[in-house]
Chain A
Amino acid sequence: MRYVDEYRNEAEATRFVQALEGVVTRPWSLMEICGGQTHTLMKSGIDQMFPESVTMIHGPGCPVCVTPLELIDRALVIARRPEVIFTSFGDMLRVPGSTTDLLSVKSEGGDVRIVYSPLDAVKLAQQNPDREVVFFAVGFETTAPANAMAVWRANELGLENFSILCSHVLVPPAMEALLGAPDNRVHGFLAAGHVCTVMGYWEYDPIAEKYQIPITVTGFEPLDLLQGAYMTLKALEEGRWGVENQYTRSVSKEGNRPAQKLLGEVFEVCDRKWRGIGEIPGSGYRLRPELRQYDAELRFDVGEIVAQEAPECIAGEILKGQKKPHECSAYGTKCTPEHPLGAPMVSSEGACAAYYLYARHE
């Protein structure tokens, strides 16, 4: 398949692995931001191909994982309401709230539906004027434009029965939070290629400058990751910092301007709590004041939510890259994809799921 096979080529991969070995002279820790990249590492087995002195730390870029527990609990309450059609991307349905998940709410009679595009949720609202259609709008900058478009479209249609439960998060503030932490171990970043496809990478220049670290915008195929790692390690070995772009076939410095414009029209930046990590200033999007009528949190009074994390789950440390999934005492025993204690075990971008599915580490 074109644009895929070229980036899964064994001979090229071997060449990059040799190049990595040639360039690395001491221990380095790189963080791949995006959970999709973590899954590629594990699924293709490249994690075992890196030189031993290179440690890949898995970053917080799993939107499902960082969605606050309180918000998932709120989603569960809303999804149970008889007038509601609760729509979501498939990923969210198995994420554990304090007591249950959306799939279980569905099996108990809640009208929970998977949609493949937020615009499908808008269409559902048009088709079901007597029902309330709620869309669970989570994700990074990658999914934000599509979700913004849904709100924009609902507003254009004057739909009164559509709303979103919004938990958008932004990558650059999270990178700063990680770099500013006293226990930071990250020497260089592989930035998330799809986030940068939308936003460009001009936002990363000040971060690279301030913390004097290399950041390489990187794609998601095995060869992308090998090349991204090579570029970052070469910069580290040469004492350089700054932003480089490996994913040139998709990313430009300025990003997708029309998408950014739409984001600005629908959302505004706010402080946001990240599950397992805590509140990060300026790290989220919420609806602009003039569009708040589409905010499901305001539309449905769900009362006080007391969220309770499974005490053994160390998802926070996993998401911050402080621990690897197999270093968790519950990993593979009390916590499995069938009985997840935390979101990283069930999300298709979760680090724990990647380890469990592809590498196990028993």
Chain B
Amino acid sequence: MTDDRQSPSLAGLACPIPLSDYPTVQLAHGGGGRLSQMLIEGMFAKAFANPVLETLHDGAVLGFDGDRLAFSTDSFVIRPLFFPGGDIGSLAIHGTVNDVAMCGARPLAVSAGFILEEGFPMDDLWRIVQSMGKAAEEAQVTIATGDTKVVDRGKGDGVYINTTGIGVIPQGVEISPRRAQPGDVILLSGEIAVHGIAIMSVREGLEFETELETDSAALHELVDVVLERAGSRVHVLRDPTRGGVASALNEIAAQAGVGMRLSEQAIPVGEQVRGACEILGFDPLYVANEGKFLAIVDRQVADAVLEIMRQHPLGRDAAIIGEVVEDHPKQVFMRSRIGGLRIVDMLSGEQLPRIC
């Protein structure tokens, strides 16, 4: 070993992801499940170690002049670029607006970074940009700054978009995964797995007939309503995107050191989504959502929060799906439809369609 490698500089530290296991990056490292978690916690959080990052929430909370700012970034590499009910542009706005909202903040502004592939049709880019502008207008956020890079033909996938958002957290709002505590109630704002299945229905090689459209939507208004009603009694907010509801709840359970108990019967899943999942061998609990969130709240306000969510168009199918418990810390259990009990684990790898 050379002196250089023994030096305490970052470059000299051994790679924390065991090379024997994963010498190269796998798709699942970005899938929102356990491999993503390994990469984030094992490599990024270690290398960039600081107290803000350590919370590993959807966004960071920064103190600024007596106020608290929420700050979050997300990159969008979705394929196909246009899908039922949306496109990469609207998704890029909704995704980041939601990440900011999940910190309990009112989103103010977002940035937009485009990585374009040489040869990409200008018409398609225009459609994406228009849709992005419309989504931002509807969400009442300003696209305040941006950046454009073009890569050689064949070195990109048409368009990648990165958006970063900031927002202000109102006084009295205190959202953190660590605040989940035994006795709390877990609410879900609507039917799950809609986005993931809608995308899959138009993916090359898997086209199947469905009327499903993505649920992609900006959730901050609904979050606002909930926070206005229940304030600091709302303990955790999380939008279960990649990895689905199961992975999001597992992350929260692990961070708070609590157990969770869900009821399969109570989890809203639409008929079309259930049908597609049955055929493909997918569990809707692991399929991505882009317009739903989980709220973990004090039991005393749970019914009131549910009622107020249901009055909002984006929350009309909201449901209480479970509770936080003291037992089996860091594990999520679910009572099945027929009354059995099983573990709901974090997504491992990607969900792959089965043989039979």
CB within 8 Å of B: which residues of A? 1, 4, 8-10, 13-14, 36, 42-49, 63-64, 89-94, 103-104, 107-108, 113-116, 120, 138-140, 142-143, 194, 222-223, 336-339, 346, 348-349, 356-360
Q: Is the CB of B348 within 8 A of A337?
A: yes
CB proximity of A135 to chain B, nearest CB, Å: 12
Query: In the complex, what residue of chain A is closest to B24 when comparing beta carbons?
Result: A107
Contact partners of B271 in chain A: CB under 8 A? 1
Known A90-B353, A222-B338; judge A356-B345 contact (CB<8 A).
yes
> In the complex, what distance in Å separates the CA atom of A336 from the CA atom of B353?
20
Closest to A3 in B: B278
User: B338–A13 contact, CB under 8 A?
Assistant: yes
Give Cα A107 to B22, complex, Å. Answer: 10
A296 CB to nearest chain B CB (Å): 18
Closest residue of A by beta carbon distance from B331 = A360
Q: Which B positions have Cβ atoms within 8 angstroms of A?
A: 21, 24-28, 34-35, 38, 205-206, 271, 274-275, 278, 281, 331, 335-343, 345, 348-349, 352-356
26 contacts between A and B (CB under 8 A): A1-B274, A4-B278, A45-B340, A48-B340, A49-B339, A90-B354, A91-B352, A92-B355, A94-B349, A103-B26, A107-B27, A108-B24, A114-B353, A116-B205, A120-B205, A138-B355, A139-B356, A222-B337, A222-B338, A222-B340, A338-B34, A338-B38, A339-B21, A348-B354, A358-B345, A360-B343
Q: Is the interface of B mostly helix, strand, loop or mixed?
A: loop
**CB atoms of A104 and B26 under 8 A apart:** yes
Contacts of B336 in A (CB 8 A): 8, 43-45, 222
Which of A13, A107, A194 contacts B25 (CB under 8 A)? A107
Q: Which of A9, A13, A94, A139 contacts B355 (CB 8 A)?
A: A139
Beyond contacts A14-B339, A142-B356, A360-B331: 5 other A-B pairs, Cβ-Cβ < 8 A, are A45-B340, A47-B340, A107-B25, A138-B355, A194-B356
Rounded to whole Å, the gap between the CB of B177 and the closest CB of chain A is 22
User: What are the residues of chain B within 8 A of A104 when measuring CB–CB?
Assistant: 24, 26
| Residues in B neighbouring A108, C-beta threshold 8 A | 24
- Asked if A348 and B281 sit within 8 Å, CB to CB, the answer is yes
The answer to whether B27 touches A103, judged by C-beta atoms less than 8 angstroms apart, is: yes
Nearest opposing residue in chain B for A355, CB measure: B343
- Which residues of chain B have C-beta atoms less than 8 A from A8's C-beta? 336-338
Instruction: Report Cα–Cα, A108/B339, bound state, in Å.
Output: 45
For the complex, give the distance between the alpha carbons of A75 and B338 in Å: 41
With A and B bound together, what is the CA distance between A91 and B352 in angstroms? 6
Contact of B343 with A358 in the complex, beta carbons under 8 Å = yes
B354–A91 contact, CB under 8 A?
A: yes
- Which residue of the partner chain B has the closest CB to A336? B348
**Known contacts A10-B339, A45-B340, A357-B345: A349-B354 contact under CB 8 Å:** yes
Chain A residues near B35: list those with CB within 8 A.
Answer: 338
Q: Are A115 and B205 in contact (CB under 8 A)?
A: yes
Q: Once the chains are docked, how many angstroms separate the CA of A219 from the CA of B35?
A: 34
Chain B neighbourhood of A91, CB < 8 A:
352-355
User: Across the interface, which residues of A come within 8 angstroms of B205, CB to CB?
Assistant: 113-116, 120
CB closest residue in chain B, given A9 = B338
B340 CB contacts on chain A under 8 angstroms: 44-49, 222
Instruction: Determine whether the beta carbon of A359 is less than 8 Å from that of B206.
Output: no
Max chain A C-beta neighbours (<10 A), residue from B27, B335, B349, B356: B356
Nearest Cβ on chain A to B66's Cβ, whole angstroms? 44
Looking at B26, B275, B336, the one whose CB has the most chain A CB atoms below 10 A away is B336
Q: Pick the residue among A48, A138, A194, A357 that contacts B343 (CB under 8 A).
A: A357
Chain B residues whose CB sits within 8 angstroms of the CB of A339 once the complex forms: 21
Contact, CB under 8 Å: A44 / B24: no
Residues of chain A within 8 A of B352, CB atoms compared: 90-91, 93-94, 114, 348
Most B CB within 10 A of own CB, among A103, A120, A338: A338
Bound-state Cα–Cα, A46 to B278, Å: 19
Complex CA–CA separation, A282 to B278 (angstroms): 33
Please, which residues of chain A bring their CB within 8 A of the CB of B355?
63-64, 89, 91-92, 138-139, 143, 348-349
